[in-house]
A = this chain, B = another copy of it.
Amino acid sequence: MVVVKAPAVAAPLVTAIYEQLGDRGAMPLKISVPSEPMRAFLERVDSDALETPRHFLETMTAADVVIEVGGATNVAELSGLPSEDLQAFSKINEPLADAQQDTRWVTTLYPAPGNAQKADMSTSAYQDFVHRAVNRDWEAQREFQAELVDRLESAAAVRIVAGDETDIRIRIDGNRIVNEYAERNMPGGEVYTAPIPDSVEGSVCFDKPVMAMGREIQNARLEFEGGEVVAHDADQNADVLASLLDTDDGAKRLGELGIGMNRGIDRFTYNMLFDEKMGDTVHMALGRAYDDTVGEGNKGNESAIHEDMIVDMSEDSRIEVDGEVVQRNGTFVFEDDFTPAPDPAPQ
Contacts and interface: CB of A to CB of B under 8 A. Distances in A.
Interface of A: 1, 3, 8, 11, 14-19, 21-23, 25, 27-34, 36-38, 40-46, 48-63
Contacts of A57: 62
A43 to B, nearest CB: 7
A266 to B, nearest CB: 32
B63 A59 contact: no
A19 B37 CA distance: 7
B49 A59 contact: no
A51 B27 contact: yes
B36 A3 contact: no
Contact of A37 (B28, B31, B41, B53): B28
A54 B22 CA distance: 17
B40 A15 contact: yes
Given A1-B53, A22-B42, A30-B33, 6 more contacts: A8-B11, A25-B45, A27-B56, A30-B32, A30-B37, A58-B62
A141 to B, nearest CB: 30
Nearest to A46: B25
A141 B49 CA distance: 35
Contacts of A48: 25
B29 A56 contact: yes
Q: Which of A31, A52, A55 has the most CB of B within 10 A?
A: A55
A41 B29 CA distance: 11
A37 B31 CA distance: 13
A58 to B, nearest CB: 4
Contacts of A23: 44-45
A54 B43 contact: no
14 contacts: A14-B37, A15-B34, A16-B40, A18-B38, A22-B45, A25-B45, A25-B46, A25-B49, A28-B38, A29-B59, A30-B37, A55-B60, A55-B63, A59-B59
A78 to B, nearest CB: 13
A41 B21 contact: yes
Contact of A27 (B8, B50, B61): B50
A289 to B, nearest CB: 27
A37 B55 contact: no
A253 to B, nearest CB: 29
